[in-house]
Structure 1
Amino acid sequence: MKSLFTARDFAVTQACVAAALFLSIPLFNVIGFSNHKLQAVLHGLGATVTVIMSCQTIHLIYPMLRGKIGAAAKLEWVLWLTNAMVLLTIIFGNWLYIAYRGPDGPQEWLMYHSPEVHLILMEYKEFVSLYPLPLGIAAGFLLRRFRHTLEPGSAVGGIIALLITLFWICLLIGFAFGIGLTKLRMV
């Protein structure tokens, strides 16, 4: 059975999504400034490391799709480490969210000055940033179950690659929107 996606399809998709998201980051500079709190720094560092690790994870898909010996095991190991970083980043983000929702916090300021930005940017970012964890766990379990029987062009390999690609895209969206939120005036 022929795979739905080729390695080239995933590489082109990754490059296009990365270019679009990272080129949109300077647009957030016109919105404003923010304070830096311990929670924000920890969450930001976690998010940055997680995005870097996810880039390595997605690049490890290609040897797996080509059937290179040992590639699936290496991908699985890096994917589980990245999943752990995603979990830590979510925990730090929830810690930061307490201050965000507090009285006289950034949410109140945003709701007063720009409710559209809050409803679109923050609410969307909150939900899309939670998707990588179940996507990464699903890919990890499939990889664990089928890593010894994966063949080049197999449907399971394509599904794992698709899950990891969606995992990566959601992380980049959350990262780009998070950078945008730091540019807002946070009280």
Structure 2
Amino acid sequence: MKSIFNARDFAVTQASVAALLFLSIPLFNVIGFSNHKLEAVLHGLGATITVIMSCQVLHLTYPMLRGKKGAAITLEWVLWLTNILVLITIIFGNWLYIAYRGPDGPQQWLMYRSPEVHLIVMEFKEFVSLYPLPLGIAAAVLLRRFRHKLEPGSAVSGIIALLITLFWICLLIGFACGLGLTKLKMV
């Protein structure tokens, strides 16, 4: 007897539910007390979508490494799209950073109560969160230049995979630290 659901149906359902719940995280800022809700929601949604897309980019790296036909072209397209999302998220983050550094803002609250948290979490997060853009662009440029000449196990495909892995790790570190910061008392 044939099942009415196949493995693909379950995988798509699981991914859809996970994405919906994941995307709802920034929307909790709407409930919070802040004068900068719009900036926070836009930055949070941008960061969440960017992390989801970066996971897809990392997933698409494996077929490229195996030399699957057309994998490099698909990877390049998704990588450029993710790079655009990274840039937009950085812009929204800088917009939110103005309020963070403002008078009587969260930075002053953190510096007064726990300067170590500010120095370790916030400053580290801000620097690490900027690395994905050059890493992603470098990987995309290499893919554009060598996508038709990539061989399984070649040095270029290994360098591209390394750049994409670092891209993904930096995005996850920035996202995790950002989520941690939102849990602290912010003005």
TM-score bracket, shorter-length normalisation: 0.7 to 0.9
Q: Which residue of 2 aligns with 1:95?
A: 95
* Separation (CA, whole Å) in 2 of partners of 1:89 and 1:169: 16
Using the size of structure 2 for normalisation, the TM-score is 0.81
8 A contact 1:34–1:185 mirrored in 2: no
Q: Which residue of 1 aligns with 2:14?
A: none
For residues 18-70 of structure 1, the C-alpha deviation after alignment (integer angstroms, 9 at most, x for no partner) is xxxxxxxxxxxxxxx87461111100000000000000000000000000000
Instruction: Letter of the 1:160 partner, please give it.
Output: I
Q: Is residue 128 of structure 1 aligned with residue 114 of structure 2?
A: no
* Separation (CA, whole Å) in 2 of partners of 1:183 and 1:91: 22
- Structure 1 unaligned runs (5+)? 1-32
* Separation (CA, whole Å) in 1 of partners of 2:33 and 2:43: 14
Q: Which residue of 1 aligns with 2:118?
A: 118
Instruction: Letter of the 1:82 partner, please give it.
Output: T
Instruction: Letter of the 1:143 partner, please give it.
Output: L
Instruction: Letter of the 1:162 partner, please give it.
Output: L
* Separation (CA, whole Å) in 2 of partners of 1:172 and 1:107: 22
8 A contact 1:76–1:143 mirrored in 2: yes
Structure 1 runs (4+) greater than 6 angstroms displaced: none
* Separation (CA, whole Å) in 2 of partners of 1:178 and 1:93: 10
Q: Which has the higher contact order (CA 8 A, sep 6+)?
A: 1
What are the within-5 Å matches in structure 2 for residues 150-161 of structure 1? 150-161=150-161
* Separation (CA, whole Å) in 1 of partners of 2:113 and 2:66: 52
Q: Is residue 144 of structure 1 aligned with residue 132 of structure 2?
A: no
Q: Which residue of 2 aligns with 1:181?
A: 181
CA RMSD of superposed structures (Å): 1.1
Instruction: Letter of the 2:109 partner, please give it.
Output: W
Q: Is residue 83 of structure 1 aligned with residue 83 of structure 2?
A: yes
Instruction: Letter of the 1:80 partner, please give it.
Output: W
CA gap of 1:128–1:117, structure 2 versus 1, over 3 A, is same
Percent identical residues? 84
* Separation (CA, whole Å) in 2 of partners of 1:93 and 1:61: 28
Q: Which residue of 1 aligns with 2:17?
A: none
* Separation (CA, whole Å) in 2 of partners of 1:162 and 1:34: 41
User: Aligned to 1:148, what secondary structure does the other structure show?
Assistant: coil
Using the size of structure 1 for normalisation, the TM-score is 0.81
| Aligned residue pairs, count | 155
